C-alpha cells in the first residue's frame, strides 16, 4: 500500500512575523510523533494585514524557520506564500516555497494569477499587483511517492493551470490561500471539489480564518479532498486548526484507471487537427 499522511494548517495571521511563526510551530509540534509526510501552510502565513514590504524584509528569517521546521518534523513543507524579490525586476513575487524533510529549499513557485478584484466586504477593493508581480511558470515538486502541483489562492479559479500540472505528473494539488469570507462562502468548496474531481488528484487547501488587522475577513474551512471529491477533513470557519488525512495513492490510481477521464481529453489530443480544420480568413 502506498499512503502519505498530510497535514493542513489553518491560522489567523496578524502583522507580527515572529508571533505568527511561533503559533504555527506550537500547533505543529503536537503532531511531531505522528510522522506527517506533507504539511501545507496558508497564504501569507507569516504576515497578513500589514505592508508586504515589511514581510519581504523578514523573508530570510521566514525561510530559515521553514527549513528548521521541515527538518525537525521530517516532513515536506509547502509554505503558503512569502514575498521574494525578483533579482532582475527588483519587485517581489508572492512565492510558495517548498522544503524537503532534510530542510533544503527545493523549489519556489511564484503566484501566476494576482488578486485584482472588487469584493462586497468591508475592505471592498483588492489589488495584489500593487505589491507583487506575477510568476510565469507553473510549479511542481517530486517527493518520490508523488508529485505535488503548486498553486496559491486566486490560482484556484484558473483550471488550465491545474491541467498543466497534471500533464506534468501531479497527483496532489496544494492550494494555500487567504480566501475572503464573501468569496469563500460562494465558491471555496465547489472550486476545490472541481479541481480534485476533474484532475483526479488529492487537494490540500490551507486557508486563513478570521478577521485580520487591516479589516480583511477570511473564510477558513481548510480542506483535504479526495480524487473522487470527498472531503476527508475540514477545519472550522474561524481560528487556528490543523487537519490531517491519509492520502491513498493506490486508490488514486484505481480512480484514474476505472474512469480514465485524463486519457479521454479530445481538445488536447486533437488540437493540431482542430487547428488545421479551422476556417482561415484574410
**Residues annotated as part of the active site:** 43, 111, 153
Vertex 43 angle, CA 122 and 76, to 5°? 160
User: What is the spatial distance between Cα 160 and Cα 166, in angstroms, rounded to a whole number?
Assistant: 10
For the record, the C-alpha cell of 4 comes out as 502519505
For 156, what's the count of Cα atoms within 13 Å in the CB-facing half-sphere? Answer: 27
CB proximity list for 3: less than 8 A, separation 6 or greater: 246, 247, 248, 249, 250
Decide: 38 and 148 in contact? Cβ < 8 Å: yes
User: What is the spatial distance between Cα 262 and Cα 278, in angstroms, rounded to a whole number?
Assistant: 25
> Could you say which DSSP state residue 185 is in?
I
Decide: 42 and 27 in contact? Cβ < 8 Å: no
Torsion over CA: 217, 188, 66, 168 (sign): negative
Question: Which position has the grid cell 513557485?
Answer: 109
Amino acid at each position: 500500500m502506498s499512503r502519505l499522511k498530510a497535514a493542513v494548517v489553518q491560522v489567523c495571521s496578524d502583522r507580527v512575523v515572529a508571533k505568527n511563526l511561533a503559533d504555527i510551530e506550537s500547533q505543529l509540534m503536537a503532531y511531531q510523533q505522528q510522522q506527517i509526510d506533507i504539511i501545507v501552510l496558508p497564504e501569507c502565513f507569516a504576515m497578513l494585514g500589514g505592508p508586504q514590504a515589511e514581510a519581504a524584509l523578514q523573508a530570510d528569517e521566514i525561510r530559515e524557520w521553514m527549513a528548521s521546521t521541515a527538518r525537525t518534523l521530517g516532513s515536506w513543507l509547502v509554505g503558503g506564500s512569502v514575498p521574494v524579490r525578483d533579482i532582475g525586476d527588483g519587485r517581489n513575487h508572492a512565492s510558495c516555497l517548498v522544503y524537503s524533510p532534510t530542510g533544503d529549499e527545493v523549489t519556489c513557485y511564484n503566484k501566476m494569477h494576482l488578486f485584482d478584484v472588487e469584493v462586497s466586504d468591508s475592505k471592498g477593493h483588492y489589488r495584489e499587483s500593487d505589491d507583487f508581480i506575477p510568476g510565469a511558470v507553473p510549479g511542481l515538486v517530486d517527493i518520490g511517492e508523488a508529485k505535488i502541483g503548486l498553486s496559491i489562492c486566486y490560482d484556484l479559479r484558473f483550471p488550465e493551470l491545474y491541467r498543466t500540472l497534471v500533464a506534468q505528473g501531479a497527483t496532489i494539488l496544494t492550494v494555500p490561500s487567504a480566501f475572503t469570507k464573501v468569496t469563500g462562502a460562494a465558491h471555496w468548496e465547489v472550486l476545490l471539489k472541481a479541481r480534485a474531481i476533474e484532475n483526479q488528484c488529492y487537494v490540500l487547501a490551507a486557508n486563513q480564518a478570521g478577521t485580520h488587522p487591516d479589516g480583511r475577513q477570511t473564510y477558513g474551512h481548510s480542506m483535504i479532498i479526495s480524487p473522487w471529491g470527498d472531503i476527508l477533513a475540514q477545519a472550522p470557519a474561524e481560528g487556528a486548526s490543523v487537519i490531517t488525512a491519509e492520502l491513498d495513492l493506490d486508490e488514486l490510481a484505481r480512480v484514474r484507471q476505472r474512469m480514465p477521464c485524463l486519457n479521454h481529453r479530445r481538445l488536447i489530443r486533437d488540437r493540431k487537427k482542430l487547428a488545421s480544420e479551422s476556417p482561415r480568413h484574410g
